[in-house]
Amino acid sequence: MSQQGSRQDLKRQLLDGARSRKRSRPPSDAGSANSGQNRVAERLTRFDSHPGYQQLTLMREAATRLGLVDPFFRCHQGNAGATSRIDEREVINFASYNYLGFSGDPRVNQAAIDAVQHYGSSVSASRIVSGERPIHGELESAIAEAYDVEAAVAFVSGHATNVSTLGYLLGPGDLILHDEYIHNSALVGAQLSGARRMSFPHNDADALDDLLRRHRPQFERVLIVIEGLYSMDGDLPDLPRFVDIKQRHQSWLMVDEAHSFGVLGEHGLGLREHFDMPANSVDIWMGTMSKTLAGCGGYIAGCQALVETLRHLAPGFLYSVGMPAQVAGPSLKALELMHQEPQRVHRLQAISRYFLEQARQMGLDTGESIGAAVVPVIIGSSARAAGLSHALLERGINVQPILHPAVPEQSARLRFFLSCEHTEAQVDQTLEALQEELAR
In a domain, 31, yes or no: no
Cβ-count burial of 212 within 10 angstroms (0-12 exposed, 13-18 middle, 19+ buried)? buried
Which of 319, 340, 361 represents a domain boundary (last residue)?
A: 340
Contacts of 116 (CB under 8 A, 6+ apart): 324, 325, 326, 329
Classified as helix, coil or strand, 91 is: strand
pLDDT at 31: 46
Number of domains in the chain: 2
Question: In this model, does residue 15 exceed pLDDT 60?
Answer: no
Same domain, 294 and 218: yes
Side chain identity, residue 75: C
Closest CA to 162 of 237, 241, 226, 250: 226
**391: buried, middle or exposed (CB in 10 Å: 19+, 13-18, 0-12)?**
middle
Domain shared by 153 and 194, yes or no? yes
CA atoms within 13 A on the CB side of 422: 34
Average pLDDT over residues 375-382: 95
What is the Rg, in whole angstroms, of the alpha carbon atoms belonging to the chain? 27
Q: Are 72 and 395 in contact (CB under 8 A)?
A: no
**Could you report the per-residue pLDDT of 319-330, keeping only the tens digit for each?**
999 999 999 999
pLDDT for the residue 59: 81
Per residue in 201-213, pLDDT (tens digit) is 999 999 999 999 9
Tell me the mean pLDDT in the region 2-17. Answer: 50
**What per-residue confidence (pLDDT) applies to 12?**
57
Work out the pLDDT band at 4, boundaries 50, 70, 90: very low
Query: Of 318, 340, 362, which closes a domain?
Result: 340
Q: What are phi and psi of 369, to 5 degrees?
A: -55, 140
Q: How far is CA 244 from the centre of its chain?
A: 26
Indicate whether 306 and 388 sit together in one domain.
no
pLDDT at 30 over 80: no
Is 33 part of any domain? no
Task: Give me the CATH number covering residue 141.
Answer: 3.40.640.10
CATH of the domain at 370: 3.90.1150.10
Q: Which residue has the higher pLDDT, 399 or 61?
A: 399
Angle at 80 between CA 75 and CA 81, to 5 degrees: 150
| Pair (331, 351) in one structural domain | no
Average pLDDT of the segment spanning 92-113: 97
282 and 426, same domain (yes or no) = no
* Residue 329 resides in a domain: yes
Give the pLDDT score at 373: 97
Claim to verify: residue 251 and residue 352 sit in the same structural domain: no
The answer to whether residue 398 is domain-embedded is: yes
- Same domain, residue pair 155 and 291: yes
Same domain, 319 and 358: no
Cα 100 from Cα 261, distance rounded (Å): 11
Q: pLDDT-derived band of residue 9, with 50, 70 and 90 as boundaries? A: low
* Residue 11 reports pLDDT greater than 80: no
Residues 222 and 327 in one domain: yes
35-90: per-residue pLDDT in tens?
556 789 888 989 999 999 998 988 888 778 877 788 888 899 899 999 999 999 99
Query: Are 231 and 89 within one domain?
Result: no
**What are the helix and strand counts (H, E) for the chain?**
16, 13
Cis peptide bond prior to 240, omega within 30° of 0: no
pLDDT for the residue 65? 80
Examine residue 376 and state whether it is found in any structural domain, yes or no: yes
Q: Do the domain assignments include residue 321?
A: yes
Mapped onto helix, strand or coil, the DSSP state of residue 413 is strand
Grade residue 16 by pLDDT with cuts at 50, 70 and 90. low
User: Is residue 170 domain-shared with residue 203, that is, in the same domain?
Assistant: yes
Mean pLDDT in residue range 212-230: 98
Tell me which of 14-18, 68-72, 118-122, 433-437 is least confident: 14-18
- pLDDT > 70: percent of the chain: 92
Q: Is residue 24 pLDDT above 70, yes or no?
A: no
pTM for this structure? Answer: 0.88
User: Does residue 13 fall inside a structural domain?
Assistant: no
7 — pLDDT class (breaks 50, 70, 90)? very low
Axis crossing angle, helix 158-169 with helix 184-193, rounded to the nearest 10: 30
Q: Please tell me the predicted confidence (pLDDT) of residue 13.
A: 55
- Going by C-beta distance under 8 Å and a sequence separation of 6 or more, which residues neighbour residue 410? 380
Mean pLDDT over each residue of the chain, to the nearest integer: 92
Determine the Cα–Cα distance for residues 233 and 366; give it in Å rounded to an integer. 8
User: Among 16, 38, 20, which residue's Cα sits nearest to residue 29?
Assistant: 38
Query: What's the whole-number mean pLDDT along residues 407-421?
Result: 95
The single-letter code of the amino acid at 203 is N
Q: Does 312 have pLDDT greater than 80?
A: yes
Strands (E), 46-99: 83-86, 89-93
> Residue 83 is part of which domain span?
61-93+342-439
Domain boundary among 310, 340, 370: 340
pLDDT of 70 reads 82
- Crossing angle for the helix pair 158-169 and 304-313, nearest 10 degrees? 100
Q: What is the pLDDT of residue 2?
A: 46
Residue 34: the pLDDT is 52
Contacts for 234 with CB less than 8 Å, ≥ 6 apart: 366, 367, 368, 369, 370, 371, 372, 373, 374, 375, 376
Show contacts of 95-98: CB within 8 Å, 24+ apart: 95/398, 95/399, 95/400, 95/417, 96/417, 96/419, 97/259, 97/290, 97/291, 97/292, 97/417, 98/291, 98/294, 98/419
Distances in whole angstroms, Cα of residue 319 to Cα of each of 160, 313, 322, 440: 12, 9, 9, 54
pLDDT (0 to 100) of residue 225: 98
Q: Do 269 and 316 belong to one domain?
A: yes
346: nearest Cα among 426, 264, 423, 235: 264
In percent, how much of the chain has pLDDT > 90? 83
Burial of 422 (0-12, 13-18, 19+ CB in 10 A): buried
The pLDDT, as a whole number, for residue 357 is: 98
Residue 45 lies in a domain: no
**Can you tell me the mean pLDDT for 257-286?**
98
Give me the sign of the Cα torsion angle 384, 390, 396, 400: positive
Assess whether pLDDT exceeds 90 at residue 378.
yes
